[in-house]
Amino acid sequence: MLKKTGKILVVDDDQDILLAARLFLKKHFLLVNTESNPDAIPTQLKNESYDIILLDMNFARGASSGKEGFQWLNTILELDPSAVVVLTTAYGDVQTAVRAIKEGAMDFVLKPWQNEKLLATLTAAMNLRMSRIEIDDLKSRQKQLNADLDQNFRDFVGECEAVQRVFRTIEKVAKTDANVFILGENGTGKELVARELHRQSLRAGEVFISVDMGAITETLFESELFGHVKGAFTDAREDRAGRFEIASGGTLFLDEIGNLPLPLQAKLLTILQNRQVTRVGANMPKPVDVRLICATNKSVNEMVAENNFRQDLLYRINTVEVQLPPLRERQEDIPLLVDYFLDIYCKKYQKAKQRISPAAMKKLEKYKWPGNVRELQHAIERAVIMSETKILQPHDFFFSTPDSREGGLIFDKLNLDDVEKIVIQRALGKHEGNISKTARELGLTRTSLYRRLDKHGL
């Protein structure tokens, strides 16, 4: 037996109808309340949250115009804009039904009703109510998330002059609809900057859609970005909106746009110039309104010079350029970033607040960070997970250095101290920082290994 759900209020001046409705509907719904006096509707709505209101349209003796029903419909929707109202009357016509829907009723039922049809109508009304509740809940959660994220530059951390220049540029550009081009190595935070531009923009209440252009195959490019209609190709089993349509009204972030082949660059340029898309297999274009942000880790100017990137497309996407510095050029921000990530991962993994020793910090500051902030983030996360102490030491961090290769070790110098350091690093990497296994691999005691780790700042 299905579990009964849903709360219904039936409002009608005919006691026989109220009795018949209650006897029938209580078999299918969790709560069925009846009311013969429409003046009591505000009190009923205050005392209970109803999923459906079955409302008669005529209450005065001899009335048949439905005027009272429309008045009470408006009152109900003022009290609860998400209310689902089904109107009932014995004097209905097409014109009345159309007006009822236009003024906010979910449906219109003629009396005397057939129980099966009434149940079908109320079941559909219940589904609509559940959808509205879900949407309201999602909007509420999104609003709270936006409030939590409202602190400017919450996720993009840095105090050096290069980062401050980025912040100032974001503040100047965000409120405009100017296209922004973000340049920087992998791991420097290009998507964080894109999201910050959206967060501070006039479109902040709309969607932010991110697309990795390097991950979209050439054959799927048009379908993914512009959408398709059913039957446009073998696997097109239904109509589907592309990323441009989905992002319309909000922000579209095209990451790694430097990976886009020339033929696809031409198609993208056409869309940006016309501000409309045509789904694959369709004939009619659809207007789109997006704020465009692009990013790449490549030297686009060199690509233009080598005829690998269209200069007219570059002009179109590059109204304002934001250059992100690599972490090796902002090493003064490393302590700030370390504290930021330590706080995040100690909370995430429910560990007591950990600190980092001066020697470990020195090691992090000396490293060149080819993977930039993303590599530092992963290094901190791993250290928090693996460490059993409250103070992280140099041996809690190990890196894959250019001098270590799978299949052997390569030494550019034969200085014994340098060789020893490289061998220890390789052993630490092999055993994922496990001191006991590393010492055993090197033929050392744990104490001897700790001395060498301290000696080499590892």
Residues 361-417 pLDDT 10s: 999 999 989 889 999 999 999 999 988 889 999 988 877 554 433 344 555 555 677
Q: Which residues are registered as beta bridge partners of 56?
A: 88
pLDDT score at 403: 41
At which residue do the structure tokens 């302590």 appear?
A: 335
Give all domains of the chain, ordered by start, each with its CATH number. 7-140 (3.40.50.2300), 161-325 (3.40.50.300), 329-389 (1.10.8.60), 398-458 (1.10.10.60)
Report the C-alpha gap between 395 and 431 in whole angstroms: 12
Report the C-alpha gap between 416 and 427 in whole angstroms: 16
Q: Which residues are registered as beta bridge partners of 405?
A: 408
More confident residue, 202 or 98: 202
CA distances in angstroms from 369 to 119, 192, 306, 391, 403, listed in the order given: 65, 19, 29, 22, 14
Nearest to 164 by CA among 325, 370, 326: 325
Separation of first and last alpha carbons in the chain: 66
Element (H, E) at 227: strand 227-228
Element (H, E) at 107: strand 107-110
User: pTM here?
Assistant: 0.59
With 80 as the cut, is the pLDDT of residue 145 above it?
A: no
Report the C-alpha gap between 169 and 183 in whole angstroms: 13
pLDDT digits (tens, 9 = 90+) for 75-96: 998 888 888 999 988 876 777 7
Q: What is the DSSP string of 381-434?
A: HHHHHH--SSEE-GGG-----TTEETTEE--S---HHHHHHHHHHHHHHHTTT-
pLDDT digits (tens, 9 = 90+) for 169-184: 999 999 999 999 999 9
Coil, strand, or helix at residue 354? coil
Q: What confidence category does residue 257 fall into, taking pLDDT thresholds of 50, 70 and 90?
A: very high
